[in-house]
Structure 1
Amino acid sequence: MIGHFETPTVPVVAESAIDEVNTSIISINEAIKSKS
């Protein structure tokens, strides 16, 4: 049961991590745009 439950969580964790990175990149890009 635990093994069956863990398998789908890996892509979800990766997806949320990617979302966080994308949000950070967007924030950095906005900051660069506003400076120049």
Structure 2
Amino acid sequence: MFAARFHPPMASAPPLCRRGVPSDRPAAKDPDAPNPL
């Protein structure tokens, strides 16, 4: 039973990480690049 519940969250983990990486990179580049420039 626990394994079945862990399966759904595991699949959601990879997509969440990918969204956090691209979101952090463009977000930091936008305010960081135009701000300091």
**Same-fold call, TM cutoff 0.5:** yes
Normalised to the residue count of structure 2, the TM-score between the two structures is 0.64
Normalised to the residue count of structure 1, the TM-score between the two structures is 0.65
Whose helix proportion is higher, 1 or 2? 1
Instruction: Provide the alpha-carbon RMSD of the alignment.
Output: 1.2
5+ long unaligned stretches in structure 1? none
5+ long unaligned stretches in structure 2? none
Q: Structure 1 segments of 4 or more deviating over 2 A?
A: none
How many corresponding residue pairs? 34
Between the aligned residues of both structures, percent identity stands at 9
